Amino acid sequence: MKMLVILVVGAAVLDYITGVLAAAKGGNLSSSSGLKGIYKKLALFCALALGFFLDTAIPILAAKGLSAEINLPFGLLIAAWVVLNECVSVLENLVSCGVRLPGAVARVLKAARGNLEG
């Protein structure tokens, strides 16, 4: 679990930094958009916490007699979704900063964005 949290936080920090760089390059840098980014990151961390909470709560409730036929690793699933989403966003921010991505990366980026939103 510790490594998952490190991955999520690392991806979120990279996304925030590259987002600030992209906004500065585009002339759209503002404290209001920066705060929106921070709020979004906090919401993602809450989603991750909820996933780990469910991973802990469901077996405890099942042991107390609550019939729960849910056997999904919610924390892992949410962490993977957050990391992938943040990485796609980092790549988009890099493109906005003028970084040229290899064609294969650009195609994967487009496909991933569609699948994550979809």
Domain boundaries, the chain: 2-117
| pLDDT at position 74 over 80 | yes
3-state class (DSSP) for residue 80: helix
- The proportion of the chain whose per-residue pLDDT surpasses 90, expressed as a percent, equals 54
Cα(84)–Cα(89) distance, integer angstroms: 9
Indicate the pTM of the whole model: 0.81
Cβ proximity of 77 and 5 under 8 Å: no
pLDDT of residue 15: 96
Q: How confident is the model at residue 9 (pLDDT cuts 50, 70, 90)?
A: very high
List CB contacts of 84: < 8 A, sequence separation 6 or more: 112, 116
81: its two tokens: 């979704």
* Comparison of pLDDT for 37 and 113, the residue scoring more: 37
- The proportion of the chain whose per-residue pLDDT surpasses 70, expressed as a percent, equals 94
From 105, 99, 80, select the one nearest 22 (Cα to Cα).
99
| pLDDT at position 117 over 70 | no
pLDDT of residue 2: 83
Mean pLDDT for all residues in the chain: 88
